[in-house]
Amino acid sequence: MLTDLPAWKGLQAHRAAWNNVHLRDLFKTDPKRFDRYSPRLDELLLDYSKNLISDETLALLRRLAVEANVPAWTEAMFKGEKINFTENRAVLHVALRSDSGKPVFVDGQNIIPAVADVLSQMRVFTDSVRNGSWRGHSGKVISDVVSIGIGGSDLGPAMACRALKSYGSKQLSMHFVSNVDPNHIGDTLDDLNAETTLFIISSKTFTTLETLANAKIARRWLVEKLGSEQAVAKHFVAVSTNEAAVRAFGIDPANMFIFWDWVGGRYSMWSAIGLPIAVYIGMDGFESMLAGARDMDEHFRSDPVGSMPATLALLSIWYQHFWDAHSHAVLPYDQHLGRFPAYLQQLCMESNGKRVTRQGEVVSHATGEIVWGEPGTNGQHAFYQLLHQGTRFIPADFLLAATTAHPYDGMQQMLAANCMAQSEALMLGKTEEEARSELKAEGLDDDKIRLLLPHKVFPGNRPSNTLLYRELNPRTLGRLVALYEHKTFVQSVLWNINAFDQWGVELGKKLAGTLIRELGEGTPITGHDASTNWLASYCQRLGRDKSG
């Protein structure tokens, strides 16, 4: 058990030494602090110097990772062992971006040639859409691409297409429909011309309720608008592991892009699930994104306990278990990363929201940090008050690009300055003395100062990491996403949980199935608890009243 490891005991003893330490003093007394805690991968810089750590803390955390067998688990993942044992699957998203030419075997089969084949198929298809040789049923060039999927079959492509807008085709508009809320598909279709719209239906299982419901509506809309079932062949493609279900839905398997059960949904944007990204930025851009992820894979594999992802994971363990942190804020100072926090929520929380160990015992400690965030500077005018002066201890990651595609009037510098000012403010805080002199300088009398002083103090000592990169290009994005993937993996090894299954989503799906049937039948709903019976019945009544 994690808490029985010698390094854990060492960390427990070590924590007491931090009770009266302030980060501002550490920076004052150690001019080399930044140099020691700011590794780079090419131009991607991770500054983790504003953390409540010393060399001793780091040594203990890294020893903990060794004692928890992080290096062995890392090798097991890269070599294709079936570490997702509850689903009897290998975990090989890393193989999707490997270009070493080295074989990787799953059930005795080298998977690398199949990966290359799908990439080639993606190139042919995306080139033809982008250069206008792929035409719709009536002969028109495609102008709009609608990706229909949910969870891992939506968030990665949606996040990446927004992130890489500067690299996207000017001829194509991308749309993402995920929710079973009919407004999502309805609002999207309302604005589209069927003759020039291409649908990409993405679902690993091709059984997911939301995706199939949305795809059915899209198919019906298209056939109605174009007046022919034959039109489907030119307007629908599918990405899935389930060929039979794709065929049953009425999509020609020739228009299908496959991937494999050893690619987890939330790790799948590197597979054909990334087709919307590839259509939008082109296959060269997509391969550059894969190369970025590969950079991070190689960096991580070469040092599974000292690399950037391992360091982020160990810091999160330090804060969650020894500083009572419950959540982690991700604050991109990069509008193009607007969906990055949502993407990370699935990656981190679906992976590590587990309550039993690999041996099936209930864990005796917390797992799975709660990830949330919003782009800066919007967040500053919303929830940063709580970060600075609230009672919660919330470590944060700041992400910042040094350059922008839109260099208007020094705005990028304003953005960058705000980003750095926030991590500085969180770290430094403002002492009572500093606050008092400021109030005095403003000419306030003693009574007013006494009233305001406690409200003007910032405790500071609040840790953060900053990831700084030149520009958010496909390669940088690949590096960033792989960084968080491996961070999540290292956390899971330390917690001794399986990061690659998601049984926790099943119960709600099953209960929804029953309620869908009951709401559809329109008969009295009595078979649940009183609350659910009432909600369902009242919802039926309100719906009837409106339609009546």
Give the residues lining the site for ligand F6P (CB under 6 A): 150-153, 203-205, 208, 211, 265-266, 350, 502, 505
Q: Are 79 and 104 in contact (CB under 8 A)?
A: yes
What is the DSSP secondary-structure string of 431-491?
A: -HHHHHHHHHHTT--HHHHHHHHHHH-B-----EEEEEES---HHHHHHHHHHHHHHHHHH
Nearer to ligand F6P, 150 or 231 (CB): 150
- In the complex with ligand F6P, the residue whose CB is nearer, 239 or 310, is 239
Shorter beta-carbon distance to ligand F6P: residue 265 or 478: 265
Q: Please work out, in degrees rounded to the nearest 5, the angle formed at the alpha carbon of residue 246 by the alpha carbons of 243 and 252.
A: 95
Side by side, which strands form the sheet with 256-258?
173-177, 144-148, 197-202, 236-240, 256-258
CB 12 within 8 A of CB 322: yes
- Judged by CB, which is closer to ligand F6P: 154, or 295? 154
Pair of tokens at residue 2: 């994690």
Residue number with CB closer to ligand F6P (2 or 150): 150
221 is written with which tokens?
A: 């809309």
**φ and ψ at residue 180, rounded to 5 degrees:** -80, -5
Q: Which is nearer to ligand F6P, 58 or 215 (CB)?
A: 215
For residue 467, give the nearest of 367, 397, 414 by alpha carbon.
Answer: 397
* Nearest of 148, 215, 219 to residue 178 by alpha carbon: 148
Contact 170, 132 (CB under 8 A): no
Catalytic residues: 350, 381, 509
8 Å CB contact between 135 and 291? no
Closest approach of Cβ 247 to ligand F6P, in Å? Answer: 16
Question: CB of residue 515 vs ligand F6P: minimum separation in angstroms?
Answer: 17
Which of 343, 309, 315 has its CA nearest to residue 328? Answer: 315
* Residue whose pair of structure tokens reads 């939506």 in the numeric block: 154
Nearer to ligand F6P, 115 or 347 (CB): 347
Query: 425: Cβ–Cβ under 8 A, 6 or more apart, which residues?
Result: 388, 458, 460
Pairing of strands 396-401, 105-106: unpaired
Question: Cβ 83 to ligand F6P, closest distance in Å?
Answer: 17
* Count of C-beta atoms within a 10 Å radius of residue 243: 14
Residue 114 Cβ vs ligand F6P, minimum distance, rounded to whole Å = 19
Residue nearest to ligand F6P (CB): 265
Query: Which one, 214 or 465, has the nearer CB to ligand F6P?
Result: 214
Round to whole Å and give the CA distance between 54 and 18.
10
Query: How far is it between the farthest Cα atoms of the chain?
Result: 82
* Smallest distance, ligand F6P to C-beta of residue 149, A: 6
Shortest approach of ligand F6P to residue 478 CB, angstroms? 19
> Residue 524 to residues 155, 508, 548: CA-CA distances in angstroms?
37, 21, 18
Other CB atoms within 10 A of residue 391 CB: 6
Residue number, 66 or 342, with CB nearest to ligand F6P: 342
State both tokens at 224. 């109605």
Least distance CB 257 / ligand F6P (angstroms):
13
d(CA 52, CA 432): 22
Shortest CB 208 distance to ligand F6P, Å: 3
Contact (CB, 8 A) for 146 and 177: yes
